[in-house]
Structure 1
Amino acid sequence: MEPDNTNPPEAERWGKPDAGTPEAGGSPAADVTPTSARHSPVSPSTAQVFGRPSGVRGSFAPTDRQSSDQPAPQVGPPDPVLAEAFGRPAGESETLQRDPLARYGEETDEPAPADPWRDPESIAALDRPALGTPEVAEPTTPGPKLGIRQVLLGNTVTWHALATLAVIALLIGVFGGLVGRWTAEVVSPLNSDSVQLSTGDEGGTAPRSSVARVAQAVEKSVVAIDVRTGSAFGTGSGFVINDDGYIVTNNHVIAMAANDRSAKLEVVFSDRTRVPARIAGRDTKTDIAVVKVDNVDNLTVSNLGTSADLQIGEEVIAFGSPLGLDRTVTSGIVSALNRPVPLRPDAESDTDAVIDAIQTDAAINPGNSGGPLVNDDAKVVGINTAGLVPGGGSIGLGFAIPIDQVVPIAQALIRDGRVNHPQIGLNASSVRNDRVLGAQVRNVVAGGPAERAGVRENDVVTSFNGRAIESADELTVAVRTAKIDGAVKFKYWRDGRTFDGTITPTSD
């Protein structure tokens, strides 16, 4: 099959037209060479600025025609500081980096070892023999013997001076001997077996203070009271009130002995004599008890005073056995009077009382109970009964039963073994509000003194027997100090009004 020449190859289709062909146009010789590009003429000023110099055809001028009057950059010497910091180290020409372990500016060559045998680079040389020969010292001959003069004085003192020194030394020795002899005969010896030290003048037991005087007057009448059971032990105090052997104390001191028949009750006197005791009587509502000892002679009886004329600030002294330490004395003052203090029953005592107490700052601790509180005249004005000890020790708040309340109760206990108390037939609780302050009646005993006096429930007693009532405890104390079957005036509040009344306490 003949080739189809209707579609010629790309080279033929896109090739240049042959010269002389009608498609090329023009004459064959003239149309082969492409036409030159035509430019706009260059202005003389532009040619002067951007044109080549005369005679130069290439891009650079020949060497012989390069101008030497052009300024060339001048490299100045580097700054010494920068050269030291950034320059190439001395002797180094290959790198700018310094050895971080090198020490520039210092000699790095190690000194040659003194021993050439240890220097591998040393040259061969002769040295001393391996074993040296010691030099022999010249023999010495003994010199002349030295005398005392040469040894002591170095042959620098004459014989006359030596004689003078000897005389002086002799005189010093004689003088020292005479002085020693004189001091031995005149000065007394340091030690002696005939010296007796004196501790004071004769009769030095005289009291030197008011407290000491009271202590000497009272101490023999004060006793310690011990109670022992099979599982418990208690200690209290007391004081002798009669030469027949009667001793007054607190009920809570001997309560264990009263409630346990197997308990052992003993009284210990100031001379440490220990005597068995018996309970003559006790009163749980006033916390007073009387015990008795038998067959004890020469008892010292306490001097009982009165508590009616006590003054706040008056000096008082407390006796007893606090914490088991018998024959202890503490002093203080009367801090307050007529302080109602409730005493509640506990595991060791059946006392249920409210005492009209003398408050004192004389230290009263457990064991002081039952001991006497004495004034400056050595007279008993109260019985130490309780102490306010929230922290477990005395804080200056002690309480004693006034002796004026103790005496009638003690006499009744000695006489009858029991005590009758006044009562008004009501129960009360403390009330404090913006309307009234006192003892509010909770219930009234039918047919009792309070009902007969017209007292009703919820009435508030504000005064009793001339004493202001601010709590139920104060009403209890006021009733206990009244006389049985004796008319007593009182005031009470009801429905915003205050009424006056009269009531007659009866025996309980």
Structure 2
Amino acid sequence: MGHSLTVPEKDNRSVPNGSPTNGSPSNGVRRPPAPVPSPAPDPVPAGAYARPGGVNGSFGPRPQRGPVVLGAPPVPEYLADAFGRAPGQSGIGAPPPTAEPPAEPPAQDPWRDPASGAQLGAPALTRESAPPPPAPPAQRFTLRQALFERRLRPSAIIGILVSALVIGALGAGIGVFAAGRLPAPTTDPSFELAPVSPGITREPGSVADIAAKVLPSVVSLEIRTGDVGETGSGVVIDGSGYILTNNHVVSSAATDPSATLTVIFDDAAQSRVPAVIVGRDPLTDLAVIKVDVTDATVAQIGDSNALAVGDPVIAIGSPLGLAGTVTTGIVSAKNRPVRLQGGGSDTDAVIDAIQTDAAVNPGNSGGPLVDASGAVVGINSAIRTLGGDSSGSIGLGFAIPIATAKDVAEQIIRSGSVQHSTIGVNARSATDGITDGAQVQNVQGGGPAAAAGIAEGDVITKVGDRQVGNADELIVAVRQNPVGATVPVVLLRDGRAMTVSVTLGSE
């Protein structure tokens, strides 16, 4: 209805019978279009969407009449059955009416309360299923019932017999194979190994040969005070029973009247003989004891001055109480000044030691260090340790040269005392970065140094033919000369070197 139609231009061409080409009347009058047929409206939509009666326009006044009742098609029966209200229900979600209100209002469902907080619910539980019925007990029957009462089918019995035969044949085969591969154990009462010729030869001068020669002259010392005992080592230096050892080994026996000193010889009977102390020298850590024996094996005394660094040596003694222990090594160094102090004794010595890498442990003290010929060249006296739990040997042992030990032992046996050379000064180690020496701290009045003109502050760098690099080297350099000997002493004073002659005195 809102569309416009455009009429085409009229065609004035003539056609037979004198009629226009468009079929219009000859007078040119325009006829209205024929009405479009339309189906009758459905009464339900018409009732819902039609204009009210008497209203022609879209916005005409609404007549005053009753409410419009919209029609609706009837609800199918299956939909009413599926979504309709339950019988007796008057509204959505309303419970069926009851005769009287409940005693308590029902608990509010948090799922229907938008203001309720989130909370954990009860754990989901599976429906308990009924336990399966117990299996019926297996039927048991005897072999007689299986064979004669026909409890088993004949085929089952045959299968069992065949399986038994196969298993038996397999076991017999394994047994035959094992018997053929493995010899059966047998015994022979007359069996003995064939004798063989000795394969070990001990040449003269071997460690075993030296140890066999020296061990009878090495003894173990036991010092016991009440329930406390100490051990050490010693070496027999004279057939009349004189034994050389360390002062720190026997000092407790010398200072405690209740202590007992026992010598244990390395013989078949492990003879134990009581001993007495002849004399001690705390300044060299040496001592001589004596036992009443007449047939003791005496060690051969060597020459410590003839040793060279690298010469093989053997340490023999009772380390940790293990008597007759032999360890080997070499001479690691010579003329090594080592200060020995404490150790529960009155020892305060500086020794001009032989350094060795032969394993030396507590208990080796007083035992001999021998050379490749079996001659004693030193008395084992000290070890260098790391302290704490690492108090054993770390390959640094020190022995008193036998030249010093022999002189001290002879003086003790002859007179019971020992004289040591002294220069009459107290000194400390000093260096200026170029020259090392022993700086004089004080000079004893009337002593050898004072008589030679040595003054405080002088730095001594040489005594006789021996260089002095520290205070301990000064002590050993002086003591290697006899008492009364006159030796040249080189010293530095105010930066100038000078030499003085000192006649050594006695401590």
Letter in 1 for 2:317: G
Match of 1:424 in 2: 423
- 1:151-300 superposed matches below 5 A: 190-197=186-193, 201=197, 206=202, 210-230=206-226, 232-271=228-267, 272-297=270-295, 299-300=296-297
Give the one of 376, 381, 385 matched to 2:381: 385
Cα deviation for residue 479 of structure 1 reads 1.1
- 1:484-499 superposed matches below 5 A: 484-499=483-498
Q: Distance in 2 between matches of 1:199 and 1:252?
A: 51
Match of 2:299 in 1: 302
Match of 2:473 in 1: 474
Could you state the TM-score of these two structures normalised by the residue count of structure 1?
Answer: 0.62
Map Cα deviations across residues 374-416 of structure 1 (whole Å, 9 max, x no partner): 1111111101000012231111111000111111111111111
3-state SS, counterpart of residue 277 of structure 1: strand
Match of 2:460 in 1: 461
- Structure-2 change in CA distance of 1:199 and 1:370 (3 Å): farther
- Structure-2 change in CA distance of 1:335 and 1:413 (3 Å): same
1:326 maps onto 2:293 in alignment: no
Match of 2:17 in 1: none
3-state SS, counterpart of residue 492 of structure 2: strand
Q: Distance in 1 between matches of 2:149 and 2:438?
A: 128
Letter in 2 for 1:452: A
3-state SS, counterpart of residue 254 of structure 1: helix
Q: Distance in 1 between matches of 2:497 and 2:239?
A: 52
3-state SS, counterpart of residue 313 of structure 1: coil
Give the one of 343, 354, 359 matched to 1:358: 354
- Structure-2 change in CA distance of 1:328 and 1:207 (3 Å): farther
Q: Distance in 1 between matches of 2:505 and 2:201?
A: 53
Cα deviation for residue 353 of structure 1 reads 0.7
Q: Aligned residues, how many?
A: 343
3-state SS, counterpart of residue 452 of structure 1: helix
3-state SS, counterpart of residue 304 of structure 2: coil
Aligned 8 A contact 2:220 2:323 in 1: yes
Q: Distance in 2 between matches of 1:302 and 1:205?
A: 25
Aligned 8 A contact 1:436 1:493 in 2: no
Cα deviation for residue 230 of structure 1 reads 2.5
Q: Distance in 1 between matches of 2:218 and 2:326?
A: 11
Give the one of 366, 369, 385 matched to 1:370: 366
1:438 maps onto 2:434 in alignment: no
Q: Distance in 1 between matches of 2:442 and 2:194?
A: 74
Aligned 8 A contact 2:378 2:402 in 1: yes
Aligned 8 A contact 1:429 1:440 in 2: yes
- Structure-2 change in CA distance of 1:369 and 1:501 (3 Å): same
Cα deviation for residue 198 of structure 1 reads 6.2
- Structure-2 change in CA distance of 1:308 and 1:419 (3 Å): same
Match of 2:447 in 1: 448
3-state SS, counterpart of residue 463 of structure 1: strand
- Structure-2 change in CA distance of 1:285 and 1:198 (3 Å): farther
Match of 2:18 in 1: none
Q: Distance in 2 between matches of 1:215 and 1:93?
A: 117
Letter in 1 for 2:400: I
- 1:100-139 superposed matches below 5 A: none
Aligned 8 A contact 1:318 1:384 in 2: yes
Letter in 2 for 1:307: S
Unpaired runs of 5+ in structure 1?
1-56, 61-91, 95-139, 143-149, 155-175, 181-186
Match of 1:407 in 2: 406
Aligned 8 A contact 1:330 1:363 in 2: yes
Q: Distance in 1 between matches of 2:451 and 2:298?
A: 45
Letter in 1 for 2:301: L
Map Cα deviations across residues 187-242 of structure 1 (whole Å, 9 max, x no partner): 99931222234685369684698222221121111110111113532111011111
Match of 1:38 in 2: none
Q: Distance in 1 between matches of 2:435 and 2:371?
A: 38
3-state SS, counterpart of residue 308 of structure 1: helix
Match of 2:309 in 1: 312
Aligned 8 A contact 2:239 2:294 in 1: no
Q: CA RMSD in A?
A: 3.4
3-state SS, counterpart of residue 337 of structure 2: strand
Aligned 8 A contact 1:466 1:490 in 2: no
Q: Distance in 2 between matches of 1:326 and 1:341?
A: 26
Letter in 2 for 1:330: T
- 1:26-65 superposed matches below 5 A: 58-59=57-58
Aligned 8 A contact 2:205 2:373 in 1: no
- Structure-2 change in CA distance of 1:488 and 1:200 (3 Å): farther
Q: Distance in 2 between matches of 1:393 and 1:141?
A: 87
Aligned 8 A contact 2:285 2:349 in 1: yes
- Structure-2 change in CA distance of 1:263 and 1:93 (3 Å): same
3-state SS, counterpart of residue 473 of structure 1: helix
319-328 or 190-199: bigger deviation: 190-199
Letter in 1 for 2:263: V
Letter in 2 for 1:385: S
- Structure-2 change in CA distance of 1:256 and 1:458 (3 Å): same
- Structure-2 change in CA distance of 1:499 and 1:300 (3 Å): same
**Identity of counterpart residues, as a percentage?**
51
Aligned 8 A contact 2:421 2:483 in 1: yes
Aligned 8 A contact 2:205 2:372 in 1: no
- Structure-2 change in CA distance of 1:296 and 1:263 (3 Å): farther
- Structure-2 change in CA distance of 1:141 and 1:278 (3 Å): closer
3-state SS, counterpart of residue 341 of structure 1: strand
Match of 2:342 in 1: 345
